[in-house]
Structures are given as structure tokens and as C-alpha cells.
């Protein structure tokens, strides 16, 4: 597992978020678009899809959004970079909560203050 996936998993575990690695989005033409991961309760109504390259999704952005997903490109950390939970809190908070309102985590509210 790459460092970026390890860190994403670690952040989701620490923040009590569900994550699904390798989620496959089926395009209207039947082709499959594999994401790095999907976090169901963040971003848009159907969750946030993460990809490793914009070139893989550039032609499909409108369809992804119309299907009720948000998307983001997940870069690899720099070699000297250290895991920083606060940066994930900020990123996830920027994406927004799309799960049940009563299930919104307290850390997200604090991050927006």
C-alpha cells in the first residue's frame, strides 16, 4: 500500500470515517473508472471519489458530478513530509459533510470555526 493510501486510511480510522478503496464508477457508456478510494459521507450526496491523476477523470467530470459524487486528486506526499491529521481534518472539512446531519462528527464543526 502506498504512503498516500496508508495516510488516508489512518486519517479515516482516526476520524471515524468509512472508506472504500478501489471503488469502481460505471460510466454511462459501460466503461469502468476505478478510483483510489471513496469516502461515502464527504463531499457530494453519494460521497467523495479520490483519483491519483486528473487525466484519468478529466473527460468524465460532468458525469461524476451528475451521478452525485464529488471528486479530488490525491497526490503522493513528499518524501520528507510527515503525517499530519490536522491537514486531513481541514481537507475533509473543506469537502463538507454529506452524511446524516445527526452523524456529523464534532471534529468537522471545530475545523470550521
Q: Over the stretch 56-67, which tens digit does the pLDDT of each residue have?
A: 899 999 999 999
Residue 112 has pLDDT above 60, yes or no: no
Q: Please count the CA atoms within 13 angstroms of the CA of 56 that sit on its side-chain side.
A: 16
Q: Report the share of the chain in percent with pLDDT over 90.
A: 74
Banded pLDDT at 80 (limits 50, 70, 90): confident
Residue 41: give the domain boundaries.
3-111
Q: What was the pLDDT predicted at 78?
A: 79
- Cα distances from 22 to residues 58, 78, 96, 110, in angstroms, run 18, 23, 22, 30
Q: What was the pLDDT predicted at 1?
A: 72
User: Structural domain tally of the chain?
Assistant: 1
Residues in CB range of 20: below 8 A, 6 or more apart: 37, 38, 39, 40
CB-CB neighbours of 3 under 10 Å: 13
The answer to whether the predicted template modeling score (pTM) of the entire model surpasses 0.85 is yes
Amino acid at each position: 500500500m502506498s504512503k498516500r493510501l496508508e495516510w488516508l486510511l489512518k486519517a479515516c480510522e482516526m476520524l471515524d470515517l468509512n472508506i472504500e478503496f478501489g471503488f469502481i464508477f460505471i460510466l454511462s457508456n459501460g466503461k469502468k473508472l476505478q478510483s483510489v478510494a471513496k469516502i461515502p459521507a464527504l463531499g457530494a450526496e453519494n460521497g467523495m471519489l479520490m483519483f491519483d491523476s486528473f487525466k484519468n477523470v478529466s473527460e468524465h467530470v460532468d458525469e461524476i458530478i451528475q451521478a452525485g459524487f464529488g471528486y479530488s486528486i490525491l497526490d503522493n506526499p513528499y518524501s520528507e513530509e510527515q503525517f499530519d491529521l490536522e491537514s486531513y481534518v481541514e481537507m475533509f472539512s473543506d469537502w463538507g459533510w454529506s452524511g446524516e446531519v445527526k452523524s456529523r462528527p464534532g471534529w468537522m464543526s471545530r475545523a470550521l470555526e
